[in-house]
């Protein structure tokens, strides 16, 4: 039985001359830069970032984000509710301003994703043909997140996957004039910033935050549905693919991260199928229905949900 070795007994440990002083100096060196970073942040806030920028960012993030989730996804791709021409046009325009491609291309790709989920033919699965191990997983995630946007071998053929939208003259026009809505979506934060802040400089920083930063954050929120929501999270329903529910991502994606629920019931207007599952896109559809602007809203009964639960 060996005796317990205390640090002082060991011959390979350098003793400290003054432990208290040493800890004080280490703490200082660790904490001071963090405090300095706080000062830098405060300076940035005071100098270049103001409330008007954050307000413009929030407005633009919400309206273009809902254009994608309520419009591009739940209305145009999955027909989870019906609405009139004007609301359809508004949602198609707002979604276009998110700069994720013209509405008809977006819908064709996404319908193909549902048709082939995580099998050969899926435009953005992190699992198809990516090799094994950590390298394979990272390669798959990168492909599903952003890589697939650079290749065109598995895109959805519009005539096959979106004939209903090609036959809709209003949606087709908005899809064909995509660039106009992109520019309008950048002009809007400039004007908003100018109106709220009062100067042209506020308009320019509004364009930066409500245009560029908003686009960056919204893009990666959307991309994360394709990558993270087919990789991490819980699987509540049997779906035959790798779709998952990712709680924390629902806050950045207006409820779209309940992605396993969505693959289980693609036409459902609600993706957050339990009361606590945050899904503001469903609240918008609910409000449209209550005001008579939406009808034939697809709802999934508790019995249908129970029948599909994962073991």
What size, in residues, is the chain? 311
**Residue 109 tokens, joined:** 């790709």
Cβ contacts of residue 210 below 8 Å, gap of 6+?
Answer: 53, 56, 57, 59, 60, 188, 189, 190, 192, 193
Q: How far is the CB of 289 from Zn ion (least distance, A)?
A: 20
Residues 192-251 that bind Zn ion (CB under 5 A): 243
State the minimum distance, in angstroms, from the CB of residue 256 to Zn ion. Answer: 8
Please, which of residues 158-187 interact with Zn ion by CB under 5 A? none
Alpha carbons 247 and 3: distance in angstroms, whole number: 51
* Both structure tokens of 169: 């003259």
Element (H, E) at 88: helix 85-96
Judged by CB under 5 A, how many residues of this single chain contact Zn ion?
1
Q: Which residue is nearest to Zn ion (CB)?
A: 243
Total H helices, total E strands in the chain = 14, 2
- Given phi > 0 = left and psi -120 to 50 = alpha, else beta, which region is 30? alpha
Give the nearest distance from C-beta 91 to Zn ion in angstroms.
15
- The CA distance from 247 to 258, in Å, is 7
Select 210 or 236, whichever has its Cβ closest to Zn ion: 236
The smaller minimum CB distance to Zn ion, of residues 52 and 260, is found at 260
CB-wise, 69 or 243, nearer to Zn ion?
243
Least Å distance, CB 111 to Zn ion, is 8
Residue closer to Zn ion by CB (options 55, 146) is 146
Q: Smallest distance from the beta carbon of 119 to Zn ion, in angstroms? A: 12
Backbone φ/ψ region at 239: left (φ over 0), alpha (ψ -120 to 50), beta: alpha
For the CB of residue 262, give the shortest distance to Zn ion in the complex, in Å. Answer: 6
78 vs 88 by CB, closer to Zn ion = 78
Shorter beta-carbon distance to Zn ion: residue 243 or 268: 243
Where do contacts with Zn ion occur on this chain (CB under 5 A)?
A: 243
């Amino acid at each position: 039985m060996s005796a317990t070795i205390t640090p002082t007994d060991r011959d390979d440990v350098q003793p400290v001359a003054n432990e208290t002083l040493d800890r004080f100096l280490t703490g200082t060196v660790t904490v001071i830069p963090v405090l300095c970073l706080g000062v830098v942040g405060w300076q940035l806030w005071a100098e270049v970032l103001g409330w008007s920028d954050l307000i413009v960012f929030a407005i633009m993030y919400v309206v273009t984000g809902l254009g994608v989730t309520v419009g591009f996804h739940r209305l145009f791709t999955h027909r989870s509710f019906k609405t009139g021409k004007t609301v359809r046009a508004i949602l198609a325009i707002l979604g276009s301003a998110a700069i994720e491609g013209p509405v008809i291309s977006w819908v064709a790709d996404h319908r193909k994703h549902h048709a082939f989920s995580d099998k050969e033919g899926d435009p953005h699965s992190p699992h198809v043909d990516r090799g094994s191990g950590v390298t394979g997983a990272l390669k798959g995630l990168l492909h599903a997140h952003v890589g697939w946007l650079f290749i065109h071998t598995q895109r959805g053929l519009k005539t096959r996957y979106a004939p209903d939208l090609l036959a809709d003259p209003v949606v087709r026009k908005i899809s064909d004039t995509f660039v106009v809505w992109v520019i309008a979506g950048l002009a809007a934060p400039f004007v908003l910033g100018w109106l709220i802040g009062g100067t042209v400089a506020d308009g320019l920083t509004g364009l930066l935050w409500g245009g560029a930063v908003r686009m960056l954050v919204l893009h990666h929120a959307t991309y994360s549905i394709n990558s993270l929501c087919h990789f991490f999270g819980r699987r509540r329903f049997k779906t035959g693919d790798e779709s998952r529910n990712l709680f924390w991502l629902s806050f950045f994606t207006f409820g779209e991260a309940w992605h396993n629920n969505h693959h289980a019931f693609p036409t459902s207007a609600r993706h957050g199928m339990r009361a606590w599952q945050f899904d503001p896109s469903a609240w918008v559809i609910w409000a449209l229905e209550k005001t008579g602007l939406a009808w034939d809203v697809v709802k999934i009964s508790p019995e249908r949900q129970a029948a599909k639960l994962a073991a």
